[in-house]
């Protein structure tokens, strides 16, 4: 099945590393124009250079997605650079894990409110293009999360918000879906670090992955590519777990 995004104008909020980077590259390989933002300048520019090798229009902008004005400014700049918006991917995470004010604030401001704010800012463009929104949650949203309560709770809020968005915008022909990745390993990511800093936890999680490994960003990006394409034209309001059966075993 060919998943063609030729000429599509796509934004990935949180697109410089890991899952966001993989989605951005998958979209570019499928023919899309791509805008990415992230807070870290070094990784942002490295991914921008990779995207430029695909030969399509590329926009990259440093942005603190926990800041309301910065989110709005990024979406406006991306829409101007690309000439509109067809697809918005809300991928940013503050990784709030500590059950205290800082942990909750990080998850609320970045995971939840950046999604709300970016979606709101992109809506006028998506109405014109009859585009779609993809929110990145986590399988932590689908089960108890005693190790990091803020992360699990706010990722669960994204699942519910996806349902509300899909219902709100269906009459405008805007599709809204959600992806819930399981444990994803990539260079510089949290699970690669935990392999050495917390091997007991890493091996416990690995033991729940009956495929014998953790997931890869590309495996999440493949689902994001499908959801952004016309092949998913009748899919909205859904959350798709991408975890290799991990959540079936604890």
Residue with tokens 């990935």: 12
Which residues carry out catalysis?
Answer: 151
Distances (CA, A) of 120 to 88, 124, 169: 11, 8, 11
Burial 237-249 (b: 16+ CB within 10 A, else e): bbbbbbbbebbee
Q: What are phi and psi of 68, to 5 degrees?
A: -60, -45
> Cα angle vertex 248, ends 25, 115, to 5°?
40
DSSP symbol at 184: B
């Amino acid at each position: 099945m060919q998943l063609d995004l030729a000429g599509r104008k796509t934004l990935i909020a949180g697109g410089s590393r890991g899952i966001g980077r993989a989605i951005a590259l998958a979209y570019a390989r499928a023919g899309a124009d791509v805008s990415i933002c992230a807070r870290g300048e070094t990784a942002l520019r490295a991914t921008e250079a990779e995207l430029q090798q695909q030969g399509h229009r590329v926009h990259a902008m440093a942005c603190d997605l926990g800041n309301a004005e910065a989110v709005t400014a990024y979406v406006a700049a991306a829409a101007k650079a690309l000439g509109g918006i067809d697809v918005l991917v809300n991928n940013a995470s503050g990784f709030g894990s500590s059950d205290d004010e800082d942990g909750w604030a990080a998850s609320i401001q970045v995971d939840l409110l950046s999604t709300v704010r970016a979606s709101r800012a992109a809506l006028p463009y998506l109405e014109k293009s009859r585009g779609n929104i993809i929110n990145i949650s986590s399988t932590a949203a689908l089960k108890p999360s005693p190790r990091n309560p803020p992360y699990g709770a706010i990722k669960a809020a994204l699942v519910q918000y996806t349902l509300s968005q899909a219902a709100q915008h269906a009459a405008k022909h805007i599709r809204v879906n959600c992806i819930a990745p399981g444990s994803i390993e990539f260079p510089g990511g949290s699970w690669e670090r935990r392999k050495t800093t917390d091997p007991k936890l890493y091996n416990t999680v690995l033991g729940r992955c009956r495929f014998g490994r953790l997931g890869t960003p590309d495996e999440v990006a493949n689902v994001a590519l499908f959801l952004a394409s016309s092949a998913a034209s009748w899919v909205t309001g859904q959350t798709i777990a991408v975890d290799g059966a991990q959540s079936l075993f604890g």
